[in-house]
Amino acid sequence: MTARARRGQGLFRNRLLEQWGGRCAVTGYANPKFLLASHIKPWSIATDYERLDRFNGLPLIPNLDKAFDLGYVSFQSDGQILLSHELELPAILGVRDGQRVALDPRHQAYLEFHRSELFMK
């Protein structure tokens, strides 16, 4: 049995990959077959508009996507990565303190939500 794709997920993913040049927003890894369209504000609590808004997402490699979804990783408003004290061996995920992501101002509201509601400080 195959999982049914969420309505609009393909469009959302394509928009993200186009915006980020087909690369992971954090590591720069460029094989799109390995990249996931990660929602900043989770699909389950987002409005219909937010679910498809490309600024509510980042293309991420799978392990980083999981860490982001679980709140082990987030981003400051200037794009600097935030690593939870709960995250062991962040280098395995390809991240390090001080690393930055080039964010658009339209990412800010979503990231503010992620930091306040999901990130494990």
Q: pLDDT tens for residues 17-42? A: 999 999 999 999 999 999 999 999 99
- The Cα 103–Cα 26 span in angstroms is 11
Burial class (CB in 10 A: 0-12, 13-18, 19+), 27: middle
Q: Token pair of 70, please?
A: 């679980």
Task: Please count the structural domains in the chain.
Answer: 1
Express each pLDDT in 65-107 by its tens digit: 999 999 999 999 999 999 999 999 898 888 988 899 999 999 9
Global pTM reads 0.89
Q: Token pair of 6, please?
A: 């969420």
Residue 4 lies in a domain: no
Residue 105 lies in a domain: yes
Residue 2 lies in a domain: no
Residue 92 lies in a domain: yes
Residue 63 lies in a domain: yes
Residue 3 lies in a domain: no
- The Cα 28–Cα 21 span in angstroms is 9
Residue 34 lies in a domain: yes
- Enclosing domain of residue 95: 9-117
